[in-house]
Amino acid sequence: MTPRMLKQTLEEWSREVHVPADLADRALRRRSRLRLTRFAGAVSCAAVVAAVALLVPLVVAPRFAPPVDTGGSPVVVPVQPYRQTTPAQDVLADTENSPPKTMIAAGRVAVSAYFTWRWHTDAERRLFDRTWYLLDPVTSRYEKTEWGWVDVAPGLRWAAVLEKDLPVRRIGIFDMETRQVRAWVPVDHPVGGVVWSPDGTRLVATAYDGSPDLDRTSVDERRCPATAAATPENPGRPPFQMISTSRTGYYVVDAATATAGDFHAVDPCLTDNSNVRRDFRWSDDGTLVQERSAVVRRPDAFYDLDGRPHDAPDGYVLTESQAGVSPDGTLLAGRDGMPTKITELSTGKVVGRQQVLQLRAWADDRRLVALGCAGTCGSEFHNGLVLVSVDGRTTVPLSAYRKNSQQPEAWEPMFTLR
C-alpha cells in the first residue's frame, strides 16, 4: 500500500467516526464500573499505541531518502503511460503565502514544482541559481529540495531530478510519493536539463559542455557560418548569428528501465537562439524532439529520436504563448501582454480577450491559468497566478501576488497535467 492509498484510507475511516448523542450519560452510568475495566482498558490502550507505532513510519514517509537498493538486479521503475482523470477538487489555491505552501491547481493542471532564484558568483562567473520546491502529492504541500533541476511527469507521481552544479553525469528518477530516488541513469555527456514526454514514460535530456545557467556576460559568444539565402520555405542561417550556448546534443531516456539511449549531437547553429540554456523538449504528440526558436514568428526545429532533423509534425501550430493550443485543438492562446487574446484556429477569429499579462496553461477547453497583475496593475511585475475564462469575464485568484517578479527570490511555477 502506497502512502497515498494509506492516507486516503485513514481519511475515509475518520469520516466514518460517529459520536453518539448520549455519550455523556453513558459515561456517568459507567463510572461505577470503571475500576473493574481499568486493566482491560490499559491493555487496549497499549495495543492502540503499538498499532500507531507501526503505522506512523508508513504515513510519514522519509523525505528525500537514499536511492532504492536493488541488490545489483536490473532496475525496473513502475512507470505507466499517463491517463487523464477527473481531479477530485477542481480548483486548489494558496492566496495567503508567497511562495505558496500548499498545492495550487485548476482543472487538469497543477503547479507541480516551483523554484526561487538568485544570481550567484563563482570563480568570477555569474550564474543563475535555482532553489527547487517539489510538490508532495500525499500531503499536498511543497517541500524544499537540494536538486539543481526538476521536471515532473504527467500524473504527479514521478519526477526527473539532477543534482547541483550542472551539468551532471546522472539523472535521477524520483518517486514523489515515497520521496526516494528509484534509479540513477548514468550518461557519458553531462546533462543540464530533462523534460518528460507527454505520456510520462520517457525523458529528453539536454547535454552541455559547460554550465547552462551562466549569465550572457560570463560566456564567450561565437559566430555561426552563413548558409544559402533565406526563402519562405527555408529560412536559412543568418550570416551574423551569434550563439553563447555550450549545448552539445541530447539523450532519449527510457524511465521504466532507467536507461539512456545513444547520444545525439546537434549543431547549435541550426536555429536562431542566442540563449545560454537551450533545452530540448517534446513535440505535442511525443514522436519528435523539439527546439523552440527564440525569434518571434520563426518556426521551431524538430529532430527524430535518432538525432536527425525532421519536418514539423502534422498539425503543428506556431505558438506565441506558453499555453499554446487548447486541449480540444480548436483555440490558440495569444502572445504575452495585456490584454491577451484567444483566437479560433479554424477561422482566426478572436473569441476572447483577457485582462492578464500571460496565458500560462489550459485548465480545460474554456479556462486558462494565467499571470495577472495586482489591483489596477500599477506594476506589471506585481503579479500572481489567476484562473481566467476564455471570454475574460471570470477571474479567480490562485496564488498570492509576488511583490516584484523581477527581483531575486521571486518564485516561478512549473505546470504539469494531474
Report whether 389 contacts 95 (CB < 8 A). no
Q: CA 209, CA 338: separation in Å to the nearest integer?
A: 39
Low-confidence ranges of the chain (pLDDT < 50): 4-5, 8-9, 11-64
Grid coordinates representing 137 are 502529492
- State the pLDDT at residue 269: 84
Q: What is the pTM of this model?
A: 0.82
Residue 370's H or E segment, with its range, is strand 367-373
Grid coordinates representing 224 are 555561426
- State the pLDDT at residue 346: 95
Report whether 414 contacts 111 (CB < 8 A). yes
pLDDT tens-place string over residues 268-286: 888 878 899 999 999 999 9
Report whether 63 contacts 138 (CB < 8 A). no
Q: CA 122, CA 189: separation in Å to the nearest integer?
A: 23
pLDDT tens-place string over residues 128-158: 999 999 999 999 999 999 999 999 999 999 9
- State the pLDDT at residue 101: 98
DSSP SS3 for 105: strand
- State the pLDDT at residue 2: 55
Q: CA 202 from chain center: how many Å?
A: 15
Among residues 108, 272, 292, the alpha carbon closest in space to that of 193 is found at 292
Report whether 212 contacts 166 (CB < 8 A). yes
